[in-house]
Structure formats: C-alpha cells, structure tokens
Structure 1
Amino acid sequence: MIAFFIRRSRGRSRHASTPERNHLAMSGTFGLFIYSMLAGSVAGGSSTEIRYCGQLYSSGIASYVETTLQFDMLGRITGHYTFYEKNAEVAGSLTEQGKPNGTRRSLLWSDRYGQGKLVINLSKNNTVFQGKWGGLKGDVILPWTGMSCDIPSADISTKGLKKTLS
C-alpha cells in the first residue's frame, strides 16, 4: 500500500517509469515488510509463557499455587498466579523489577492482600523455579516454588496440595 502510494505520487506523470522510481517503490515495499515483521514481534508474537504448578506458604500453611510467567523477547518477566486459601481463590499479578539478571529474578507481586517482593531462581531452561517471598518491607523468607505443569512429576509433587482449600 505504501509502495503503491510512493509510486503513484512520484511516478504519476507523462514520463515512463525510470529505474530510480522502480527502486524507490521496491525499497518502500521492503522497508514496510521489515517494519511489519519487527512490529509483529514486539507486539506479542515472540513471548514465551510457562505455567508452573507448585506451592507457597501463606499464614503458615502450604498452599497449591499456579504461577504463569511470560518472558518477552528481551527476557523480562510478567505474569499472574492463583493460590487457594481459606476456601477461596486468591489471584494476583507479577511484574519484574529492574533489569533481567540471569536466572535470579526479582518480581513484585500484587493481590488483594497488598504488594510485596518475590525473588526466584530459575533453572537454565526455565522449567523450574525456587523462590522466596515477603512484603515490600522486610525479608523475603516464605517459600514459593514451581515446576512446569507440562512435566508429569509436577502433578505428583503437588498432588496433596492440588487445589486443596485450607
């Protein structure tokens, strides 16, 4: 469409088309193609999402948690989680704080109880994480773990906790 516009606006005359004008039209088409490929990647085509089955400790009780982490093309993490407590589902969001730093990542959690810190150590292939969480002030000391739900042993390791309402 842009190439057509360039060609019509530049080449619409009584003169025959010239190699320079044809080159300009082709350059515009190629540039549009590259731009659309990059824009599509950034807009959401190149992120990886992994759903983890695991557990976290809240109020001194181990609770089943499903944590979903999305890794964008720059390696930054966003996500969400759901855990079960006192006959209710608690849903929240996760946002990475600072720049991605290898397998050790710092996230901000947010749910109906407020906000706090979650520090996780990911396996090299991102299929497992071990974490500690806490409030915004103070230490992150409570365990929060996850293993890709696509790994069969994830169901076995959390079977006793799976959606158990405490």
Structure 2
Amino acid sequence: MLIRFAEISPHGSHYDVRTIEGLDDLPGLVVDLLEVRCSLIRKDDTKVELQGRLKSALTLECDRCLSPYQRQVDVALQMLFEVETDASWQVKDLEYRIPDLDTTVLDEPVIDLDDAIRQQLYLALPMKSLCSEQCKGICANCGANRNLVSCGCADRCESSPFAVLAQLKK
C-alpha cells in the first residue's frame, strides 16, 4: 500500500492491515495471522511518523530438528520517514544522533506501508529459530529426529575416522 505524504492528515491517519504481499518469500516461514494497527502522523512536509502495533502468529521451521512450531510476535512500531533535502544533508554531515537510526530516508514523499511492516516482521524473527532450548536436533547418521526417537547412532561412532582422536582423550 503506497501512501503519499499529502494524503496523511496532520492529526493522523489510521490503518488496519491484515495481509501483505510477499511474506512467504522466506523459506520455513508461514504467516498464519497478521494484525497491524498503526497511525501515520505528518510532522511537516518532509517528515511522517509511524506508530502502532504488529501482532502475528507464525509457523517457523526449527533450525535443529526441521520440525514446524508456532511463535507469537507482538512488537511496537515506531518509525520516522523523511524525505531528504539538500539543506538537511548539510546538517546531517555535521551532527549525527541516535534517533537518526530509526529514520527511513525516502527519495520521494511516498511510504510503502507493506514494505515497512514486512521489514519490522522480519526484524522480529529470531536469529536462531528453535522449537525449544532443549531441542536435540536430528541425527547426523540416520536423520532421525532425536526429540522423538533415540536412534542409538551415538553408540556406534567408533567407525568414524575421528574415533582415533576420541581414544586419545581417554
């Protein structure tokens, strides 16, 4: 959804988003439910602030055992969109502040709301996707999910070429 700065009220424009195109681009990610409530508030002709809340129910794939699991996402949205002018670039060269990190610089006064929400959802995903901290993963020999079955392959590791190194430890 493209929103022009001129379409945004100085008192704020409210949006409810339930679907976004292109969310299934990441392998191992299925968005079961998406609920975004946000407001765009025009600060001036070159700045718009986004405030809101993103809630989602996701089905992710565990990085250790490759099993699907559910994860809830509930994050606050706080972003500033700014169209840069020549004068503002000169000021930014002189001083840089921490709040500038939350600022998205735009080439033209149009916000792609779907893209901003998609980026915030991707940022809410864990770096390492685990179904639980105690996940044992899959067996490197037989491929069995060690959370569900005990395959016994760890007892037969003596056939490995590195078994000689294990004997040195003893």
Assess same fold via TM > 0.5.
no
* TM-score, length-scaled by structure 2: 0.30
Structure (1/2) with the larger strand percentage: 1
Please report the TM-score for the alignment, with normalisation by the length of structure 1: 0.31
